[in-house]
Structure 1
Amino acid sequence: MAIVAINMVPLGMGPSVSKYVAAAEKVIVNRPGIKRELGPMFTTLEGDLDEIIQAIREMQEAVFETGVDRVITTIKIDDRRDKKATMQEKLASVNAKLAE
């Protein structure tokens, strides 16, 4: 299972990007097999890496369909194979260490 952070920035569209974020989020909001967590600067996805990569491509197309001519996409992938690691487990691990 992979955990992927994604950020898409439409260039030349002014300082507010919420319209474009919403277009991308609509692609994955109810996508079976992919868990998502919207954050202030990145969206984090959890699931099968191939499915996530396909979803990211569709998200990027959704942003282009709003009339954008250029999109910068940043992708960070944590693909751990030695054990199952979820978004919640990663947060819980750090929070437990903070409580020590």
Structure 2
Amino acid sequence: MLVAFSVAPAGGESDSVSKAVAEAVRVVRESGLPSETTSMFTTIEGEWDEVMAVVKRAVEVVQQRAPRVSLVLKADIRPGHTGQLTAKVARVEEHLAAD
């Protein structure tokens, strides 16, 4: 499964969220799961329980910095498929190159 999520502190004293987000991204990277971070979301790939455990840990580290946390999550649940973090993009690129 692929999970794209965004976690950020809410209700803090500063409008800068980069330090808290960096801690959440560190959790993802230390998990060892395939991942990609962009300006808006971090996408991770793995089995349901392992992916959700990483999301939970990422939320917990952000909670240490703020009294309230915002979480946005989107999942692509497709049993039996792996490597989709890059394969989905490659298929789109193939179509673009063919046109």
User: C-alpha deviations, 1:20-69, integer Å up to 9, x for none?
Assistant: 1111112121213x111111000000111110101111110000112x01
Identity, % of aligned positions? 34
RMSD over aligned Cα, in angstroms?
A: 1.4
2:68 alignment partner in structure 1:
70
Q: For 1:98, give the aligned amino acid.
A: L
Alignment partners' CA distance in 2, 1:59 and 1:30: 11
For 1:29-40, what aligned pairs fall within 5 Å after superposition? 29-32=29-32, 34-40=33-39
The two structures have a TM-score, normalised by structure 2, of: 0.88
Alignment partners' CA distance in 1, 2:52 and 2:81: 21
* Residues 59 and 94 of structure 1, relative CA distance in 2, 3 Å threshold: same
The two structures have a TM-score, normalised by structure 1, of: 0.87
1:53 alignment partner in structure 2:
52
**How many angstroms does 1:85 deviate by?**
4.9
- Gaps in structure 2 of 5+ consecutive residues: none
Q: How many residue pairs align between the two structures?
A: 97
2:25 alignment partner in structure 1:
25
Alignment partners' CA distance in 1, 2:91 and 2:36: 18
In the alignment, is the contact (CA less than 8 A) between 2:6 and 2:71 conserved in 1? Answer: yes
* Residues 69 and 6 of structure 1, relative CA distance in 2, 3 Å threshold: same
Question: Secondary structure in 1 aligned to 2:30?
Answer: coil
Alignment partners' CA distance in 2, 1:3 and 1:15: 29
In the alignment, is the contact (CA less than 8 A) between 2:9 and 2:17 conserved in 1? Answer: yes
Question: Secondary structure in 2 aligned to 1:98?
Answer: helix
Alignment partners' CA distance in 1, 2:94 and 2:72: 29
